[in-house]
Amino acid sequence: MLERRIDELRTAVRLAAVAGDRVNARALRAELRRAEDAWERALTALGEPSPMPPALVAVGSLLPVREQVHHALTLLTVPAAPRLIVAVHEAFFSGEMVSARLTSLRRDEERSFRSAPYARPYYLCPALTADMLAPARGLLTVSTWSVAERIVGPLSLRVHFLTAAIRVADAVVRLDAPRPATGHLLRRFAANIPGAIDGAYTPMSVAKAARAELVVHEEADRYARDEAARRAVRLTDVQRLFGARLGLVGDEAGEEATG
Amino acid sequence: MSAPAEEALDRIRGDAPARNHNARTISALTSNPGCNRRAIMDAAGIDKSRLASYVGFPAQFGQSQFAITRGNVFEAQVKADGCAELLTLLRERLALALPEVSYDDLELVGGNTSPELRHARTKTLLARAAAGLDDAGTLFDHPLLRLSVGGRDVYLEPDLIAFQWKGQFHVIEIKSFPVIDGQADGEKVAAAVIQSAVYVHAMRALLADQGFPSDVVADNVVLVCPKDFSNRPTVTFVDVRKQLTVLRRQLSRLTRIDVLLSLLPPTLSLSVARPAAAVVADLRRIEARYMPECLDTCDLARFCRDESHGCTRVMGHTVSEDLGGVETVETALGLARGTLPPSPEQEDAASLLRLAWSLREECFGGVA
């Protein structure tokens, strides 16, 4: 049913494009995209393994992957790499997160924003590099964060690492029954924070050690990011969310045409 | 490079496009500096692997996919979270100060991967750091370096981190072979060290262009490897001065390729468009120096090994050094049996061989 509709739309788009009717073609394309999205969703829902009866399935696994990523990022409050997002999800949320799906996520979000700006309450977008405001490789953020929060300067990776450690430690304290994955995640942070595993090793001690180092970098990092954020005012909405690419005028136009 | 030399190299290469160097091929140059055949083929930018299959000796090696994956996973682990593990190590070993955590990735410049742009940015950032300005940066990942090899500019796609500490740069190379009980596989270390030396050399060239002295890049490179049988990284400092000397000599040799070319007939060509027999005949006109190590670094090694069948050199360094002056296995056997009178320079080797022969006779008696 859906597939037939997609095929019909494709034909209509082609006809409109050939006839030079651009306005109509654009509207049809948007509709086609929606139909394709629905088709994708239906397919994903089919592919999801559900060994348990529906009543017993944890809520997390029913959430789309972008919701899961959003939860993990909201817990961390800083830009994070897919690996960390998956680890946080495993440690604190239920259901399985397929890391392979994260790779296509960013492009899907950008496409969705371009076709219908601000139609969703939030978008998952890349972090921006402080020097060029270009998309930073492999770091995800949430569009509702301020631009300064989404920028990564030279010191930011460390600052984000320490901030994430504090958030994770705080979350572990709040947990009633910690899971093995939680301890594993915290230990990963603790191993690379000076003073975190000396003496008594508790979530509180990890957070304390991370705060102690954070004080050293925080100010310089904030300064660099605020400065970059001021420059970001000049960007268009799409560029501000998904990054400005340098010298890719042709590609940008190409994306517009195909996306 | 002179114009006639350029012309001669083009003729030797034929119509095929010239192959570019990378750190691997440049470091391979230094493993057998005495080989004219390799020197000429590298200067001409010949696709050795293609030539080897054309003359009937296809190269049978290549890096294992498992090894590549393992290397990438370990590197990603060390570099994860803003090089968190690397920083911990450097803080432990070098007492790196807490504020020194700055990390710049030069793999992409504004979402763009063009080598010119990346090289320009590398130059700017490294020069700023070398000048010792405030907040000049500590770790620079994937700097794109450029090196002049045989008169051509070559971009090196490096897998290294340039680490600036107390006004001096160190090259950090992450390798996935283990260091067990403080010991690592000698060959692998040697290969890693020579590659790092290429990077040190290229970084010095880059900074020298901008008026910095060569000691702004340290002689010591930092090797990061897995420790014992675990996945935990460990840091080792390796002095690359010796490799740098070899490298410089080999690179200057490439620019003095005119001398080597003048020894060859003016019609020589290794173009794969010619009949295989003619190419083989021309290949044999260029002097080679086959050693067993060539098998690891040169695509044409099997051809040279076949060619030098019966030579004592084929048995490796130690044997050929013990048998100095004895070129072929046949001579060696003749000297040992006493059927061949040794020339004055073969005296030492001959007495050694005769001793070995008599021991063998004693052991086996009439059996063997």
Per residue in A217-256, pLDDT (tens digit) is 999 999 999 999 999 988 888 888 998 876 544 344 334 3
Mean pLDDT by 10 residues, chain B (368 residues): 78 81 75 80 84 84 78 91 90 88 84 82 88 77 84 74 87 92 87 89 91 90 92 92 88 76 86 88 88 83 89 84 83 88 86 90 75
Pair B76, B323: CB distance under 8 Å = no
Q: Which residue of chain B comes nearest to A216, CA vs CA? A: B99
pLDDT confidence tier of residue A107, bands split at 50, 70 and 90: confident
Residue A63 has pLDDT above 50, yes or no: yes
Residue B125, chain A, CB below 8 Å: the answer is no
Residue A59 has pLDDT above 60, yes or no: no
Closest approach of A37 to chain B, Cα-based (Å): 27
A129 with B110: Cβ contact below 8 A: yes
Instruction: State the pLDDT at residue A254.
Output: 37
Q: Which residue of chain B comes nearest to A215, CA vs CA? A: B99
Residue A72 has pLDDT above 90, yes or no: yes
Residue B357, chain A, CB below 8 Å: the answer is no
Q: Rounded mean pLDDT of A78-94?
A: 91
ipTM: 0.73
Q: Which residues of A have a CB under 8 Å from any CB of B? A: 81, 83-84, 129, 131-132, 134-135, 137, 154-158, 160-161, 164, 191-192, 194, 213, 216-217, 220, 243-248
A157 with B82: Cβ contact below 8 A: yes
B110 with A246: Cβ contact below 8 A: yes
Q: What's the mean per-residue pLDDT of chain A?
A: 82
Residue B239: CB atoms within 10 A of its CB come to 12
pLDDT in tens, A200-210: 788 999 999 99
Residue B87, chain A, CB below 8 Å: the answer is yes
CA neighbours within 13 Å on the CB side: how many for B201? 27
Task: List b or e across B55-67, with b for residues whose CB sees 16 or more CB atoms inside 10 angstroms.
Answer: bebebeeeeeeee
Percent of chain A scoring above 90 in pLDDT: 38
Q: Which residue of chain B comes nearest to A132, CA vs CA? A: B110
Give CA–CA dist B340/B136, Å, rounded. 71
Q: Tally A–B CB contacts below 8 A.
A: 77
Q: What is the pTM of this model?
A: 0.73
Instruction: State the pLDDT at residue A247.
Output: 57
Q: Domain residues of chain B, as ranges?
A: 3-63+251-307, 65-186+214-237, 315-364
Closest CA to A153 of B104, B86, B120: B104
Instruction: State the pLDDT at residue A62.
Output: 67
Using an 8 Å CB-CB cutoff, list chain B residues near A211: none
Q: Which residue of chain A comes nearest to B104, CA vs CA? A: A154
